[in-house]
Amino acid sequence: MLTCTTYFLLENGSGNSFPTYLLGLGTIPLFALQFRTLQIDWTLAGLIALFLGYMTLSVLWSSNNEPVVKTFSEALLVLTFCLAVPVSIQRFHWFLNALVVLVILSAAVNSGFSIYLHYALPDYQPLPEPRLYALGRLSNPVIGALSYGFATVLAAYMFLNETRRLASAGYLAAIVIFIVAIVLTGSRGVYLAMAAAMSIGMLLHYPGNRKLQVIGVAGTLLALSAAAYFFLGPEALFSRALSFRPEIWSEFISRTITSNVLVGVGMTTDSEFQLPELLIQHPHSAFIATFYYGGLIGLALYLGLVLRAIQSLGAMRRHDIRLLGSMLLAFGLTATLLDGNELIEKVNYLWFLVWLPVGLALAKRPISH
């Protein structure tokens, strides 16, 4: 909970990561003591551990010979985070909604101040284009858009399940604030990710009611398409085309095939290269990045844990976990297909786009008190 909320409120990664590391180290002994009583999907947990372990070992064949300790510690914390999510949900019935509400509030504070600074102090942002320069760790427009998109999915989940009018109005207001912030970032891929998440949400929220499902999905797609078109404008929407994604992906795929298609180039190998128009610093797709760093083996392990997470969420008994986990996983997979880098790193937006929904998929059933 602390990890998720401080991400939106603190200015730098160290302030966000330190409490996570501290709590993670303290949580590991608790997992060891309660190992036999943990009610989680052990197949998925094993796939997560296998993927993290393999990608950590890939440091050994990286070109820059960095020590494996740093990557190992980050992989251990990712695993701890994934395990902490289902254990917390199972042992504390209030945890899931409390987590979601706190993240929504934190994101609303961040986006509200960022929007205010964007209009009140136009010289505040150092970007060459008039795009939202969000506070703290969200200053990159793409990361900011994906983070606000994540918060939008959380607010939409709460709105779908809320019966109190005042609370519903609050969640709807939060959604409006987040979408305004997303529009100001000028990012486009986030709309596809939100469309995927909201469509899954509508299908799962109205099971067996085909009419409401169709209306919900169609309405969601129409609203997001209209927002992207009218607020960004056709020129901004289409002028950047695919933002060099085909060229970037082709280059990294070619590098992997040339180097070692089976095991990849290793986690800490440099990923920069120069296009005629700009310097590329990473693969701009978590899937391509996994293939680049870990080869076919790494990509197969990652796809395996993703498929298992989808299967686990589909069989989930608790409707709230199934709905939220499925919406977040749809958002995260779509977003990281179009952007993202290595999946083992200190606390960043990929923890919430990938590892949080995977952690939700680990939960099996509540533990009796």
Joined together, the tokens standing for residue 197 give 């998440």
Q: Which of 132, 152, 129, 153 is nearest to 144 (CA)?
A: 132
pLDDT category, 289, cuts 50, 70, 90?
A: very high
Question: What whole-number distance in Å separates Cα of residue 177 and Cα of residue 161?
Answer: 20
pLDDT of res. 369 = 37
Residue 289, helix vs strand vs coil? helix
Portion of the chain with pLDDT greater than 70, in percent: 76
Please, what is the Cα angle at 211 between 206 and 213, to 5 degrees? Answer: 40
Question: What whole-number distance in Å separates Cα of residue 195 and Cα of residue 222?
Answer: 9
- Residue range 256-266: mean pLDDT, rounded: 91
**Is the CB of residue 356 less than 8 Å from the CB of residue 78?**
no
Given a cut of 70, whether residue 10 has pLDDT beyond it is no
Q: Which of 290, 221, 293, 277 is nearest to 245 (CA)?
A: 277
Q: Which of the residue ranges 37-41, 44-48, 69-73, 80-84 would you say has the lowest mean pLDDT?
A: 37-41
Query: 122 or 230: which carries more pLDDT confidence?
Result: 122
* Backbone angle region of 309, left / alpha / beta, with phi > 0 → left and psi within -120 to 50 → alpha: alpha
pLDDT category, 302, cuts 50, 70, 90?
A: very high
Residue 223 gets which letter from DSSP?
Answer: H
Q: Which of the residue ranges 89-103, 188-202, 255-269, 327-341 would you say has the lowest mean pLDDT?
A: 89-103
Joined together, the tokens standing for residue 23 give 């709590």
Given a cut of 50, whether residue 366 has pLDDT beyond it is no
Given a cut of 90, whether residue 307 has pLDDT beyond it is yes
- Neighbour count for residue 217 (Cβ, 10 Å): 18
DSSP H helical ranges for the chain: 2-9, 13-33, 42-57, 68-91, 95-120, 141-161, 165-185, 189-205, 210-227, 233-239, 245-260, 286-314, 319-338, 349-350, 356-362
Question: What whole-number distance in Å separates Cα of residue 239 and Cα of residue 296?
Answer: 34
Check: pTM over 0.75? Answer yes or no.
yes
**Burial class (CB within 10 angstroms; exposed 0-12, middle 13-18, buried 19+) of 64:** exposed
Q: Is the dihedral of CA 287, 290, 296, 300 positive or negative?
A: negative
Give me the chain's average pLDDT, please: 81
Q: Which of 151, 227, 235, 233 is nearest to 192 (CA)?
A: 227
Joined together, the tokens standing for residue 354 give 């990938």
Residue 236 CB contacts under 8 Å (≥ 6 apart), including other chains: 186
Q: Which of the residue ranges 3-12, 103-112, 138-147, 259-268 would you say has the lowest mean pLDDT?
A: 3-12
103-150 pLDDT per residue, tens: 999 999 988 888 888 887 766 666 656 677 777 777 788 888 999 999
pLDDT of res. 271 = 76
